[in-house]
C-alpha cells in the first residue's frame, strides 16, 4: 500500500509540474525563513542559559527617586550593596561584584599592548557563574590583591600561549599583576565580555591607598558604578528577598537620602532576562529588545502560514480536476480512510521535498544571513538535536495543517455525482479559499507596513539634526600611559596640531557624542534652595574649545572663554538642565549659583539640547564644566579632502608627545552611526523576510489564479461570443481579487498601527505614523497582485472562444 501511495503521489506531482513546484518552492522558502528567524530568536533567548545556577542568579538593579518621582534607573548600584545584603539576608548564598575600569597597557618585550574590556571582580566570580577555566583553580582565584585572570585570546596575544599561570604582567602606570587563571573567551550570548579580570581586592587596596585609608568601597553607599549579582539559596522566593532590601538600604544611606529628599530602591532582575528586558544606565554591553524578537517571531509565523495556505488553496482549487479520480477509486472499492491517507501522503511528499530543498537553501544562505543579522549562527546548528527536533515538528505540523482540509474535501466526493459530471465546488470551499487569500494579503500588508515604518524610523534617526555638528571630526582615543606632565603635553600637542592648515580646531573632553552621556552628578541645587531640592545631572568635563568645535547653539549667556579668569568655577547648562532647576526662560538662569559637590559655581551660559547619544534616548539634564586640564578624547575638526596626509601628521605628533601609547582614532559621524547598527540590522532582517513573505504569497496567488481562470474558461468563451471585450473580462477577473485586497487592507490597518506605535515607543524621538504608511503598501500589494494574476487572466481573455467552449 505504501508503494501505491508513493506512486500515485509522485504521478500527481509530475502531472502538474508548475503547480507542484509552486507548492514545493513556496513551502521551502517558508521553511527556510522560519528556521532562520527561529535560530535568531533562539540565540537572543539563549543569553546566560549556559550558567549552571542561572535560575538562582539575579542582578541587583537600582532605581533612584527625587521628590518621590522616578529620576533614573541603573544597572549598577552602590559598592556596599553586595556585602551588606549578604550579611543581613541569609537567603543570599553568595554575591559577585563587577566593576568596569579603564583600558590598560601591558609591557611585553619592550612593546606596549593595549588590553580592553578590563574589569574588577570578587573572588566568587567563577564559582557563581559558569565561565569555563582553562588554567587555574576557581576557588580563591581572585582572592589576593594584584592578581588577575585573563581570557584565552588575551593570553595568546601577550604570551603566545595559554599556560601562563603565575606569570607577572607589568602594567604601565600601575602595579604588576600576577596571573592566577586563564578562562575561555566569553561566548557571544553573555553580557559580560571581560578580557582582563583583576581581583576586586586590588581595587579596594587602590582606593584605600589613594585616600590614606579613609575610604572603603565595601562601606560606600553613596558611590555608584558597581554591578552586583546575588546567588539565592535553593527554593527561595526572590520577592521575599527583595522585600528585605529596604531596611538594609535605610541603615546604610537612609539619613543621607532624606537630607536630599531622595530615595533609592533595589530590585532583583533574573540573570536570563537581562539581555532582552533591560536597558538601564551603566549596562556593560548593548542589550537586545524583546519587542523586536517578538516581531521577528511573528514574521516567522506569518511566512510559514502563508506557505501552508498556498498548499491548501491550490489543493482545494484542484478538487474539481481530481473529482473523477476520487469517483473511480471509490467505485472500485477504495474507502474514505484510504483516500484520506493518500492525500496526507501527498502532503507529506510535498512537505518532505520542500524540507530537503529548504536545507539546501539554508546551507547556501546561512553566511549571508549572519552578515545581515549580525548573529553568530554557524553550521554547527545542524549537529544539534534540538534543530532536527524542531525541523521534525515543523514538518509534521505542515503535513497536518496543510493536508487536513484538502484530504477531507477531496475524499468526500460521491462517485454517483462525480460520474454524472456534477463536480461543482461547494460554497464553503470557495469561501475558505477566499478567506485564506485574505489572510495572505493581510499578513503581507502587515509586514510591508511594518517594514516601511522601521525604514522611516531608521532614516529619521540618521538624518535628524543632532543639535551639534559632528561632521569632519576626527577623534583620538585618550592616551593610557600618562604622568604628571599630561596637561603640558595636552596643551602642547593642541598648539602643534593647529599649525597644520588642514586642522581647524582641537578640543579635549571627558566624552564625545556617541560615547556615553558623561558622568553622573547628584546633589545639584541652587544655593538658594535647601538639600531637599537637589537633583541629579549628567556632566561632561570640557576645555575652552569644546562648545565652539561642536557648534553648540547658545541660547542664553556665553560659552567658556580665557578672557574670564574665574571660568573654572563656572558652568554651562543645556535647556533640559535649567528646566529641571525650575527656569522656563534660559535668561533667568544666567548668573545663578549652584551647589556642585561642595563648590559654588555660576551658570554663565545655556545651550540648546543636543543628542549626546542616539535618538533612542531622551535628552538628559546636562552640565558642561570647564576643566582646562581635562583628560579625555581629542576632537579634531579637519579638512577631509586631505585626510590621509592629516592622519599621518597627527600620528607623528601623537608618537612624539605620548610615546608608548597606541594611536587610535575614529571619525565621529561613523562612530555615532554605529549606535543605530542594531536598528539597521533589524530593519534589514525585517525587510528581507517581508519580501520573502510577499514572494511566497505571490507564488500561491499565481497558482490559484491559474486554476480559477482555467475553471472559468467556458464562462469566458461564452462572454466573448456574446460581445464582451477583453477589458471587460479582465475587470471581471480582477474584481474578485480587488475585493479580497480591500478586506485585507481594512483588517491590516489596526493590526499594523498597533504594532508600529508600540514599537516606536521604544524611541524617545520617533516619527509620527502617517496615513501614507498604510496607503503606499496597499498600492504596492495591489500592483503586485494584479501583475501576478495578469499572466493567466490576459491569456484567458485573449483566447479563441471556440477553443474555450471546447474545454468541457
User: How distant is the alpha carbon of residue 111 from its chain centre?
Assistant: 38
Per-residue model confidence (pLDDT) at position 730:
67
Q: DSSP letter for 594, please.
A: E
Average pLDDT (382-391) is: 76
* Structure confidence by residue, pLDDT tens digits, 139-188: 889 999 999 999 999 999 888 899 999 998 888 667 889 999 999 999 98
Per-residue model confidence (pLDDT) at position 56:
95
pLDDT at 723 over 60: yes
Q: Which three cell numbers stand for residue 100?
A: 568596569
484538502: which residue's cell? 406
pLDDT at 744 over 90: no
Per-residue model confidence (pLDDT) at position 353:
85
pLDDT at 796 over 70: no
Q: DSSP letter for 171, please.
A: B
pLDDT at 740 over 70: yes
Q: What percent of the chain has pLDDT over 70?
A: 83
Using CA atoms, how far apart are residues 739 and 443, in angstroms rounded to an integer? Answer: 16
Per-residue model confidence (pLDDT) at position 434:
77
pTM: 0.81
Q: Is 579 left (phi over 0), alpha (psi -120 to 50) or beta?
A: alpha
Per-residue model confidence (pLDDT) at position 423:
47
Determine contact, residues 116/128, Cβ cutoff 8 Å: no
Residue predicted with more confidence, 144 or 372:
144
Q: Are strands 570-574 and 633-638 parallel, antiparallel or unpaired?
A: unpaired
- CA-nearest of 195, 71, 180, 168 to 524 is 71
Using CA atoms, how far apart are residues 6 and 16, in angstroms rounded to an integer? Answer: 16
Question: pLDDT band at residue 685, thresholds of 50, 70 and 90?
Answer: confident
Determine contact, residues 263/257, Cβ cutoff 8 Å: yes
Q: DSSP letter for 532, please.
A: G
pLDDT at 232 over 90: yes
Using CA atoms, how far apart are residues 101 and 93, in angstroms rounded to an integer? Answer: 27
Q: Are strands 224-232 and 57-66 parallel, antiparallel or unpaired?
A: antiparallel
pLDDT at 643 over 80: yes
Average pLDDT (416-442) is: 64
Lowest mean pLDDT among 427-431, 653-657, 760-764: 427-431
- CB count within 10 Å of CB 797 equals 23
HEC readout, 39-60: HHHHHHHCCCCCCCCHHHEEEE
Per-residue model confidence (pLDDT) at position 138:
87
pLDDT at 241 over 90: yes
pLDDT at 706 over 60: yes
Average pLDDT (235-259) is: 90
Using CA atoms, how far apart are residues 272 and 491, in angstroms rounded to an integer? Answer: 48
- CA-nearest of 580, 66, 8, 43 to 347 is 8
Tell me the pLDDT of the chain averaged across its residues.
83
pLDDT at 335 over 70: no
Using CA atoms, how far apart are residues 571 and 799, in angstroms rounded to an integer? Answer: 83
Amino acid at each position: 500500500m505504501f508503494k501505491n501511495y508513493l506512486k500515485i503521489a509522485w504521478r500527481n506531482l509530475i502531472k502538474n509540474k508548475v503547480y507542484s513546484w509552486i507548492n514545493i518552492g513556496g513551502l521551502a522558502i517558508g521553511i527556510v525563513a522560519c528556521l532562520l528567524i527561529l535560530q535568531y530568536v533562539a540565540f537572543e533567548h539563549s543569553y546566560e542559559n549556559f550558567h549552571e545556577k542561572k535560575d538562582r542568579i539575579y542582578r541587583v538593579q537600582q532605581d533612584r527617586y527625587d521628590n518621590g518621582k522616578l529620576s533614573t534607573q541603573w544597572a549598577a548600584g552602590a559598592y556596599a550593596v553586595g556585602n551588606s545584603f549578604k550579611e543581613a539576608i541569609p537567603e543570599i548564598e553568595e554575591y559577585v561584584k563587577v566593576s568596569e575600569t579603564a583600558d590598560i597597557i601591558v609591557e611585553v618585550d619592550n612593546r606596549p599592548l593595549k588590553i580592553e574590556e578590563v574589569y574588577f571582580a570578587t573572588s566568587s566570580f567563577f564559582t557563581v557563574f559558569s565561565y569555563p577555566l582553562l588554567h587555574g583553580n576557581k576557588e580563591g582565584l581572585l582572592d589576593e590583591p594584584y592578581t588577575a585572570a585573563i581570557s584565552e585570546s588575551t593570553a595568546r596575544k601577550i604570551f603566545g600561549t595559554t599556560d601562563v599561570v603565575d606569570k607577572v604582567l607589568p602594567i604601565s602606570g600601575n602595579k604588576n599583576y600576577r596571573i592566577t587563571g586563564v578562562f575561555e573567551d566569553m561566548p557571544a550570548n553573555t553580557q559580560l565580555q571581560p578580557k582582563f579580570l583583576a581581583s576586586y581586592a586590588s581595587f579596594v587596596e587602590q582606593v584605600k591607598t589613594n585616600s590614606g585609608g579613609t575610604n572603603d568601597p565595601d562601606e560606600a553607599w553613596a558611590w555608584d558604578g558597581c554591578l552586583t549579582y546575588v546567588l539565592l539559596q535553593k527554593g527561595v522566593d526572590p520577592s521575599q528577598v527583595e522585600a528585605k532590601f529596604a531596611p538594609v538600604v535605610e541603615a546604610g544611606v537612609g539619613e543621607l537620602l532624606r537630607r536630599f529628599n531622595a530615595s533609592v530602591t533595589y530590585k532583583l532582575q533574573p540573570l536570563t532576562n537581562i539581555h532582552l528586558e533591560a536597558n538601564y544606565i551603566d549596562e556593560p554591553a548593548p542589550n537586545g529588545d524583546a519587542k523586536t524578537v517578538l516581531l521577528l517571531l511573528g514574521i516567522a509565523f506569518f511566512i510559514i502560514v502563508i506557505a501552508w495556505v498556498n498548499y491548501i488553496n491550490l489543493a482545494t482549487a484542484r478538487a474539481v480536476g481530481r473529482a473523477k479520480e476520487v469517483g473511480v477509486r471509490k467505485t472500485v472499492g477504495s474507502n474514505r480512510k484510504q483516500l484520506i491517507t493518500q492525500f496526507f501522503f501527498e502532503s507529506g511528499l510535498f512537505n518532505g521535498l520542500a524540507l530537503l530543498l529548504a536545507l539546501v537553501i539554508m546551507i547556501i544562505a546561512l553566511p549571508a544571513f549572519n552578515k545581515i543579522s549580525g548573529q553568530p549562527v554557524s553550521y554547527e546548528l545542524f549537529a544539534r538535536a534540538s534543530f532536527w527536533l524542531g525541523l521534525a515538528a515543523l514538518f509534521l505540523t505542515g503535513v497536518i495543517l496543510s493536508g487536513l482540509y484538502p484530504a477531507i474535501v477531496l475524499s468526500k466526493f460521491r462517485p454517483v455525482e462525480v460520474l454524472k459530471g456534477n463536480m461543482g465546488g461547494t460554497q464553503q470551499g470557495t469561501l475558505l479559499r477566499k478567506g485564506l487569500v485574505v489572510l495572505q494579503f493581510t499578513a503581507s500588508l502587515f509586514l510591508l507596513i511594518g517594514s516601511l515604518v522601521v525604514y522611516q524610523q531608521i532614516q529619521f534617526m540618521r538624518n535628524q539634526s543632532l543639535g551639534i555638528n559632528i561632521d569632519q571630526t576626527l577623534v583620538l582615543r585618550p592616551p593610557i600611559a600618562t604622568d604628571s606632565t599630561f596637561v603640558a603635553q595636552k596643551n602642547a600637542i593642541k598648539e602643534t596640531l593647529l599649525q597644520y592648515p588642514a586642522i581647524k580646531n582641537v578640543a579635549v573632553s571627558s566624552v564625545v557624542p556617541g560615547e556615553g552621556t558623561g558622568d553622573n552628578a547628584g546633589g545639584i541645587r541652587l544655593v538658594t534652595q535647601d538639600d531637599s531640592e537637589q537633583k541629579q545631572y549628567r556632566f561632561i568635563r570640557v576645555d575652552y574649545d569644546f562648545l565652539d568645535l561642536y557648534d553648540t547653539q547658545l541660547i542664553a549667556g556665553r560659552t567658556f572663554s580665557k578672557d574670564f579668569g574665574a571660568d573654572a568655577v563656572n558652568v554651562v547648562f543645556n535647556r533640559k538642565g535649567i528646566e529641571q532647576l525650575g527656569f522656563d526662560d534660559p535668561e533667568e538662569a544666567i548668573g545663578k549659583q549652584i551647589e556642585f559637590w561642595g563648590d559654588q559655581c555660576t551658570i554663565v551660559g545655556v545651550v540648546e539640547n543636543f543628542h549626546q547619544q542616539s535618538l533612542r534616548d531622551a535628552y538628559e539634564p546636562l552640565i558642561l564644566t570647564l576643566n582646562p586640564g581635562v583628560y579625555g578624547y581629542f576632537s579634531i575638526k579637519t579638512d577631509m579632502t586631505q585626510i590621509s596626509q592629516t592622519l599621518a601628521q597627527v600620528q607623528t605628533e601623537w608618537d612624539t608627545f605620548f610615546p608608548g601609547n597606541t594611536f587610535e582614532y575614529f571619525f565621529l559621524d561613523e562612530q555615532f552611526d554605529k549606535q543605530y547598527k542594531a536598528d539597521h540590522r533589524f530593519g534589514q532582517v525585517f525587510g528581507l523576510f517581508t519580501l520573502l513573505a510577499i514572494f511566497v504569497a505571490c507564488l500561491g496567488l499565481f497558482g490559484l489564479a491559474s486554476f480559477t481562470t482555467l475553471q472559468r474558461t467556458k464562462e469566458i468563451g461564452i462572454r466573448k461570443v456574446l460581445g464582451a471585450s477583453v477589458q471587460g473580462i479582465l475587470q471581471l477577473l480582477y474584481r474578485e481579487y480587488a475585493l479580497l485586497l480591500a478586506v485585507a487592507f481594512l483588517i491590516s490597518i489596526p493590526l499594523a498601527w498597533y504594532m508600529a506605535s508600540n514599537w516606536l515607543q521604544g524611541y524617545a524621538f520617533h516619527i509620527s505614523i502617517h496615513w501614507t504608511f498604510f496607503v503606499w503598501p496597499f498600492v504596492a500589494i495591489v500592483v503586485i497582485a494584479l501583475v501576478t494574476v495578469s499572466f493567466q487572466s490576459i491569456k484567458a481573455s485573449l483566447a479563441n472562444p471556440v477553443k474555450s467552449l471546447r474545454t468541457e
